[in-house]
Amino acid sequence: MTSRILPIGSPSLREIAAPITDVRAPDVLREAEALGEAIRAFRAEHGFGRAIAAPQIGIGKRMIGLALPDWPNVVLNPEVIWKSDAQMTLWDDCMCFPDMLVRVARHASVSIQYMTLDGDICCKTHLGRAESELIQHEIDHLDGVLSFDRATGANPVVHRSVFDADRASFMQQVDYIPEPA
């Protein structure tokens, strides 16, 4: 385990994370803290990052660290329990390939169920677009799925420097434009 983000191509990013059965296990708290450290370090270096799935730092468990208001710092065993029929396209960024953006399609809204570090089962329903796309991205990581697997449209991958040089043009190619992280 490390708080350093694994780069794209790391084999463990393709593995399906195991459910957490004992929230009181000492390693779960250590790993939850490592997720927080990883988000803070990444944000300091790259200026973005709202969440991180445990597999992104080599932890093969179903946990996501979050840096979002009104959310716990870590959610365990998250699962989508409802998806809107409506979809949206957006330029997805990822800590595993911070210099690239991938155009993907995701559900415009989802509802999720998760467990807290206290063992409580919680639900968040009909999430807005920003939280919906983020949660879908992170749950994909728990399932060994990367943004590249969800790429859509012609020329769906762009280097961040090219994107930033013509941001307006690239934003015209998608339905949803997230606020900066």
Catalytic site residues? 138
Per the CB < 8 A criterion, the answer to whether 6 and 59 are in contact is no
**Where would I find the beta strands (DSSP E) of 17-156?**
51-53, 63-66, 74-83, 87-92, 100-107, 110-115, 121-124
Q: Report residue 142 CA to chain centroid gap.
A: 9
How many angstroms separate the CA atoms of 75 and 62, rounded? 8
How many angstroms separate the CA atoms of 10 and 160, rounded? 21
Close Cβ partners of 58 (under 8 Å, ≥ 6 residues apart): 1, 2, 6, 12
Residue 20's identity, in one-letter code, is I
How many angstroms separate the CA atoms of 4 and 35, rounded? 10
